[in-house]
Structure 1
Amino acid sequence: MPSTLSLTDTVSRAQKHLATEVDGNFILMSIEGGVYCGLDEIGSDIWRRLARPLTVEALCQAMAANYRGDREQITADVLELLVSLRDQRLIHVG
C-alpha cells in the first residue's frame, strides 16, 4: 500500500466501521483493524464529507473554501489525516 495518496484518488468511509458523534466530534472504530480514534472538529467535518465518495482534490478544495486557510497547508493536513484513516482501515481508497 503506498504511503501517500494522490489528489485524483477517490475516498469514502469504509463499510466495516463504527462511528459515534459526541459533542460534535466523532469517535471511530475499525471493525477489521480493531483500532479506534477520535477526531477533532475539523477531522469530524472531513468524516461527514466522506459519507459519499469524492476525490481527495474535491475534499481539499471544499475544506480550503470552508476554512479559508493556506491551501497548501490544508491539503497537507487533509492528506495526513486520510493516510492515517486509510492505514486504520477506516476509509476506502479507490
Structure 2
Amino acid sequence: MRSTLSLTDTVSRAQKHLATEVDGNFILMSIEGGTYCGLDEIASDIWRRLARPLTVEALCQAMAANYRGDREQITADVLELLASLRDQRLIDVG
C-alpha cells in the first residue's frame, strides 16, 4: 500500500510520460507504468499547474481560489487525483 500524500509534499509531472491535449482535456500515458488515463477539465487544469513543482497545499489553495468551492472538498478531490496520478507513475512526489 502506498503512503498517503501530505499537504507539504511537493508534486510535479513525471519525466517519462506522454501527454496530448484534445479539446482542452489531457490524455496521459506513463512510459514507466504503461498506463494511460484521460483527464476532465478540472483535472486537466491541475495537470497544467504541475508543469512546475509545487506543494500540494499550494495546489489546493490555487484550485480553491479558482473554483471557489468548499475548501475541504477541493482538498479531498485534489488528493484523490494526485494519488491516482502517483500510482500510475504520472507524477513525482517529494
When the two structures are superposed, what TM-score results if normalisation uses the length of structure 1? 0.98
Is the 8 Å Cα contact of residues 6 and 56 (structure 1) preserved in structure 2?
yes
When the two structures are superposed, what TM-score results if normalisation uses the length of structure 2? 0.98
After superposition, the C-alpha distances for 1:31-51 in whole angstroms (9 at most, x for unaligned) are 000000000000000000000
After superposition, the C-alpha distances for 1:41-78 in whole angstroms (9 at most, x for unaligned) are 00000000000000000000000000000000000000
Distance in 2 (CA, whole Å) between partners of 1:5 and 1:45 is 19
Distance in 2 (CA, whole Å) between partners of 1:67 and 1:4 is 25
Equivalent pairs counted in the alignment come to 94
User: How big is the alpha-carbon RMSD for the aligned residues of Structure 1 and Structure 2?
Assistant: 0.8
Is the 8 Å Cα contact of residues 3 and 83 (structure 1) preserved in structure 2?
no
Matched residue of 1:45: which SS? Answer: helix
Runs of 4+, deviation exceeding 4 Å? none
Structure 1, unaligned stretches of length 5 or more? none
Structure 2, unaligned stretches of length 5 or more? none
Distance in 1 (CA, whole Å) between partners of 2:69 and 2:2 is 27
Deviation at residue 2 of structure 1 after TM alignment: 3.3
Deviation at residue 4 of structure 1 after TM alignment: 1.6
Is the 8 Å Cα contact of residues 13 and 92 (structure 1) preserved in structure 2?
yes
Distance in 2 (CA, whole Å) between partners of 1:4 and 1:22 is 31
